[in-house]
A and B are shown apart, each in its own frame.
Chain A
Amino acid sequence: MDERRAEAAAAAAMGRHDGHPRPASIPSGDGSVWADVSPLLEAACADLQEGELIHGDNFNLFAAMSALEIMDPKMDSGMVCRYYSVDEAIENGAAPVPISFDKTVDVQCTIDIMDHLLACEGTWHKGHSLAQTVFSCIYLLRPERTSSHALLHSYCRIIRATCKAVVSVVSDARTHEEEDLFTMSYGLPLIGEDEKCLSMLNAVEETIARQLRACKAPSSGRKVIEDLEPLQNNPALEEGYCKAILCRLRFRKHFYHVLMCLKRPQGRGLQLARKHISSCLSELEIIRKSTEVLRSNDYGTHNSGEDKTTASGRQPVGFDASINTRLSAPTPPRSIKILSWSEAVDYFVKLLHDLDIICSFSLDASLEGILQFMVQFQKSHPDLVSRAHLQTLLIQDGKLYGRDSIFAVITKAAGLPEILRNHDIQNGECLVQLGQLVINLLKILSTNAAWQRRKLGKILQDWRVIHIQLELPFRQEMGEESGLSADQSGRQDILRQILVWVEEQTFWIASRFLMLGFELELYSPGEYCMVYWYIYVVLIKLAERMHHKMSFTNATEPAKTRGKKKKGSTKDTSRDIQMPASVLFLQSYICLAEGLTMMLAALRNERMLSQSPSPFNSDHERFIQHFELLQKAGVPDHISYQSFEESTKNVRFSTLVMYNYFKDAQRIAKEVKNSFPNDPDRQSELRRVEQVAEHNSIALTVLCRLGSLDPSLKVSFDFSHHPYFATAVVKRS
């Protein structure tokens, strides 16, 4: 629109002032016209009542739900609660510097601020927005204001630097997809100032350490350090306060070091990180103990309720939880309950333990070992921050630990000899893609269980596609094999071995997907039968592939070792015949799954589970829904509801009495324990398997003997012995 036309439009819009008749429309040049909308709007104003809306074709649920009702406290995050701005809060004296002119009170208040910040930080890590937790601290929002207060200033600086480091590792890892609030930090003063924060903190720590020494020294010795002012005015409190502050400062320092060490490439900082972790933990213990001193030295009234966010039990000065709500995303405000002081300390203890587990994991583990470690690690429900660190440690620059190429990792996992690990085959499109899938898998295994399961279900399809692509040449070249050159046949051997490994991996993902359903409570008791049946089918396939891969490995690799040390060869051959321990381990799962399937089927068939048919669908539909992703990916092939029905419809207790799968599970678990003498995780897992097997074996015997004869028997299932394998509980009602 050129200027003249703009003027004309403006004149038309304000037509009522110039006395000229208003033109109904002004041509805009390209076949359309500018029209005055005022009459329309005026008419509409009178027509539309509050809460009514004109429904456009593109008005969808998203749009409807994005509408916020202004001044509704449940929805309007911009509603002013107390202050319009940070500046107004400061002008009103919400965050004075110094906090008090009485030095004792000032120190007490500073400790409260430190404590409340720790509680806020824990709350943030648990998934709330940074703006509404840590940055509800007004002192943090105006970095320059605290510069005259060395103690508070240095503490605020290291908090900002720490938050920044944590945001950065979590954004890099992208484990937060489901927890997207975590990394939102716009509008917050998180930038810069990393370098100097430690030196400042050290200087303050040094001063307080001297003050502590001074107050503990006998009065004769005090002259030497006479120039040193005490921390505050009350000599009786001096030692307690110095100590309380020192442990808080030292915790921050070591925690920051931990984060910096973990950031170092290729896991080079892990050893040092462990030292700082252990320092953090001991400082946290001292912090916990300082509670007594801080409570007894209270100057005012307080109640030491459970939900207090400070060690002293007092309300901290300088926080306003509502001050930043406008910085949070354009969504209704989330209700936030800040962790209590003791919950916060507990959280950090757990975080540090989780980080320590990560740091102590071997950097030379095989892929299988890593996957197992991740599954084990997830069992303790680690929070976002430690999971993000695990992931950034494992995958750096597209390499394992930023060091090993993914192809090398795959060939090692597939049991191929080391010389092949630089083979030019790795540049093939298919193997590049496979590498990407492996990286993806590691990333997915670092996410929270809910997200993880959804993603695992989705990637099954990708693994299946790769499998088909890898298999293609074998199908085409069948029958032509005799004409292959040595190089081509070598290439084939590699691919064949990788193919078996891809299958194994696919079934492993499927089993993880199915088992996570128990952890997430996705299955109802009426569905257990089909779930255990599916787990059984998948585990059988997994065991087959594992066995296949290992027999291949044993056929190639021991050939070399045997050549080297002929004397030991007799032992080796005996091992070849035996089932490998890891397959046997799986066998114990298989027996449990099969036993549970059969027991549940018998209960269903003999109508011993109170289950009324659902009005809208049947087990068939529930089967399709639960296993849709597996079925789509053909994991495994030729499995359908019909096959489930076939294998379970005739099961009766009278037939089960002939064969007790749980006894097998128990026996195998006992046997295989000796194969993992140095693996405490496997040992305890096998103990759990034994327990489930034992209990279910007894329950099965009772049911077989009395089952249909005694209508007062009630059977229920719980997970008291194992998170995925249920234990039957038989009671007489």
Chain B
Amino acid sequence: MEAATSGAEEVEEEKKAEFDASEIEYASYGGEHHLPLIMSLVDQELSEPYSIFTYRYFVYLWPQLSFLAFHKGKCVGTVVCKMGEHRSTYRGYIAMLVVIKPYRGKGIATELVSRSISVMRESGCEEVTLEAEVTNKGALALYGRLGFIRAKRLFRYYLNGVDAFRLKLLFPQPELHPSLVMMANDDASQRHPANRPLEEIPEEQERF
């Protein structure tokens, strides 16, 4: 889906909020009271329209993958994700990432996404994917620093006619590091959390 953030290099000309990184508090999705916060942030900042069902789909199935950032009680950023089987791999997907403009460039988005990615890795994901507009230099730089590659270019992916990149992050694979195989085997029983039906979404359908 999308991201509205800026990379650290990007200098925003708009007014910046004065704050210290330590003043930002991060919270995992905590229930119904967080939903309107996420929705209003995404609606404000991203180009694609999402219905309330789309938000619910994510936060109800994978509350542990959604995080919010607060500054003095005000929600200034959020990340919404999912994970599941996809063509015989178990993978995480970052659906939405937003940091409001005055708070960009201070590493909030990096922190939000890193938290989600860590949970995905612990849950047994082999890779993480997402889409970002080719024009969104900030997001591309951010994900590049985290180790994502640009796997594909999706022609006119968004409703506004802009191309997207599909970005992918592959976690180190046990078979390539024999010492890790034992650990991986131990984890196998926990790999699929709960008995949730994890559907596979054909890539072509992810686009609307």
Contacts and interface: CB of A to CB of B under 8 A. Distances in A.
Contacts of B160: 334-335
Contact of B171 (A53, A332, A621): A621
A625 B156 contact: no
Contact of B159 (A60, A63, A334, A625): A334
Contacts of A448: 155
A74 B153 CA distance: 25
A234 interface: no
B171 A64 contact: no
A58 B197 contact: yes
Contacts of A520: 153
A54 to B, nearest CB: 11
Contact of A616 (B134, B159, B171): B171
A523 B150 contact: yes
A327 B19 CA distance: 50
B199 interface: yes
B11 to A, nearest CB: 18
B162 to A, nearest CB: 11
B51 A522 contact: no
Interface residues of B, number: 44
B106 interface: no
A120 to B, nearest CB: 15
Given A524-B150, A616-B169, A616-B171, A62 B201 contact: yes
A178 B155 contact: yes
B168 interface: yes
Interface string B146-186: 11011111111001110101001111110010000000000
Contacts of B49: 69, 72, 74-75, 332
Interface stretch (B20-28, B54-62, B66-74, B97-105): B54-62
Contacts of B145: 612, 614
B152 A454 contact: yes
Assign chain A's interface to a size class.
35 or more
A62 B205 contact: yes
Nearest to A613: B147
B208 A65 contact: yes
A617 B171 contact: yes
A616 B82 contact: no
Question: Could you say which of A55, A65, A524 has the most chain B C-beta atoms within 10 Å of its C-beta?
Answer: A65
Q: 4 closest pairs, A vs B, by CB?
A: A614-B147, A74-B49, A64-B57, A621-B170
28 contacts: A53-B53, A53-B56, A58-B197, A61-B54, A61-B205, A64-B51, A64-B57, A65-B51, A67-B51, A68-B51, A69-B51, A69-B52, A74-B49, A75-B49, A335-B161, A448-B155, A449-B153, A523-B150, A524-B144, A612-B145, A615-B114, A615-B147, A617-B147, A617-B172, A618-B172, A621-B171, A622-B147, A625-B149
Interface of B: 49-54, 56-57, 60, 82, 114, 117, 121, 134, 144-147, 149-156, 159-161, 163, 165, 168-173, 176, 197, 199, 201, 205-206, 208
Interface of A: 51-53, 55, 57-69, 72, 74-75, 127-128, 178-179, 331-335, 448-451, 453-454, 520-524, 526-527, 612, 614-618, 620-622, 624-626
